[in-house]
Amino acid sequence: MRKQLLLLCVALLALVSCAEKPLDPNKPVYVTVSTSMGDVTVLLYDDTPLHRDNFIKLCQSGEYKGMLFHRIIKDFVVQGGDPESKAHEPGVLYGDGDGGYTVPAEILPNHFNKRGALIDAKETDDVNIERASAGTQFCFVQGKKLTDEELAQKEARINEIRRNWLFYTFQDRLKKQEPALAADSMKAELENRALVLLEDTLDVLGYYTIPADRREIYKTVGGVPHLDGSVTIFGEVVDGFDIVEKMSLVKTDKNDRPLKDVMIRSTKVFQK
């Protein structure tokens, strides 16, 4: 009997020690994503609390176990987190699954898409002007080092993306203010009025240029600058970026899905 009681106590102690401890709000939060190719550890940013807390919840619950990195593009991103990818069906195009919800955008000017940035995945601006993030999906930014000429091209693309987003935003705003503008017969009127608002706004904003300090990082460290200002960046890789690099080199199909599955085995949330 004593032996049985002792074994029971040991088992209870083990359960208590394995239970998730409450996180200290005054300490940074880290997550290790263990994959079939190795471990990647990220630091989560405190100034994007909606994304931070969502990622913590998903990682603590084990939601990511078995999901794939379904989209890998060299010199761009390594993307995963589609719940449907747990099926591991060969050749299937994944990427539409988001867990059934979105997270409101937390796009901040102090964060940018340097190599190792942890960013959201989302639908395009024409159907998602709020730039809300897919609930469960995320990306590691792999990117590359860029020359001044390449950075000038990225600046042009940033300005194009901003212009298009503002155009969609003004159209949406006008339709809400005057529902009659939503009619097909009013399309030209809607677009003309949106263009006036767009040009007035761009005159005030001016042409966007990448700040000098950020530009230097893109030249010496690398990243994906054309995403700046349009995606939520909620953390960064602090260990295991070599694994992200290895992932970026895998062979993929025409839809950028790896020919050999790259899977998330587990996630661990911790503080130092």
* 132-190 pLDDT tens trace: 999 999 999 999 999 999 999 999 999 999 999 999 999 999 999 999 999 999 999 99
Retrieve residue 182's tokens: 């939503």
pLDDT above 90 (res 205): yes
What does the pLDDT read at residue 12?
Answer: 41
Q: Which domains does the chain have, with CATH numbers?
A: 28-145+221-270 (2.40.100.10), 150-205 (no CATH)
**Residue 4: what pLDDT?**
52
> Residues 40, 240: contact at Cβ < 8 Å?
yes
**Cα 164 to Cα 129: distance, rounded to the nearest angstrom:** 10
d(CA 205, CA 148): 23
Cα torsion for 134, 251, 90, 65, to the nearest 10°?
A: -50
Average pLDDT over residues 71-82: 98
Binning pLDDT at 50, 70 and 90, where does residue 52 land? very high
Strand, coil or helix: 104: coil
Structure tokens at 239: 């260990």
Is the pLDDT at 57 greater than 60, yes or no?
A: yes
Give the DSSP H or E segment for 11.
helix 2-18
- Which pair of tokens denotes residue 58? 């998903």
The pTM of this model reads 0.91
Please check the confidence at residue 78 and state whether its pLDDT lies above 60. Answer: yes
Query: Contact, 174 vs 190, CB < 8 A?
Result: yes
pLDDT at 21: 77
pLDDT for the residue 74 = 98
